[in-house]
Amino acid sequence: MSEWDELVNYFRGRSMWMLHYCTGCGAIELPPTMTSRWDMERFGIIPMATPRQADILLITGYLSIKTLKRVVYTYEQMSAPKWVLGFGSCTINGGIYWDSYGVIQNLDKYIPVDLYIAGCMPRPEAILDAFGKLKKMVQKGEAKGYEKYIKNYDWYKANQDRVFRRTEPVLRKAEEVTKSA
């Protein structure tokens, strides 16, 4: 890493704009994080309204198949140095929706997640801690999820298509039941 890159990374870590994709209950933890009690603006992190302006994509909760499609659109609209924060256990393994037919289980299969915040729900302290860790990762040049996405695009695309573009029933047994009925 050249010195110029180090300088750029230093400033990128100091100014991370966040797009919070509020799907689940996690959205309720963000207002206290933004406002006067915990005040994340002091780290240069402010909420942004559109994916074009954002650096961090914060996924706060479970994602159904329909919402995952929108998340992938959103992620692909963001411009290049971009990072994904998975928030809550739902993005890690489905959380309480571990056996649900509509909710995806592992976000990392569809878009590259740089950092997970475990918990159901994570407290604002945990969110700020994650921002601090992400800042260090960015400044050291370790957070390279977007490069991983470009490099392994086929793998991610195949995983996405497996969920979005099903052409035959997922359960063969179920298919038989339908036919007999």
Under the criterion CB under 8 A, does residue 179 sit at the interface with another protein? no
**Residue 38 backbone zone (phi > 0: left; psi -120 to 50: alpha; other: beta):** alpha
Helix (H) or strand (E) holding 135: helix 124-140
Which member of 6, 50, 132, 136 binds another protein (CB under 8 A)? 50
Which one of the spans 25-33, 72-80, 83-91, 126-134 is the region binding another protein (CB under 8 A)? Answer: 72-80
Cα separation, 14 vs 132, whole angstroms: 10
Under the criterion CB under 8 A, does residue 173 sit at the interface with another protein? yes
Cα separation, 65 vs 103, whole angstroms: 6
Which member of 79, 96, 125, 140 binds another protein (CB under 8 A)? 79
Which member of 58, 72, 78, 91 binds another protein (CB under 8 A)? 78
Cα separation, 180 vs 85, whole angstroms: 46
Task: Assign 97 to helix, strand or coil.
Answer: helix
Q: Whose Cβ is closer to another protein: residue 53's or residue 129's?
A: 53
95, 89 contact by CB (below 8 A) = yes
* Interacting residues with another protein (CB under 8 A): 8, 11-12, 14-15, 17, 35-36, 39, 41-44, 47-53, 55, 65-66, 69, 78-81, 94, 98-106, 109, 144, 147-148, 151-152, 154-155, 158, 162-171, 173-175, 177-178, 181
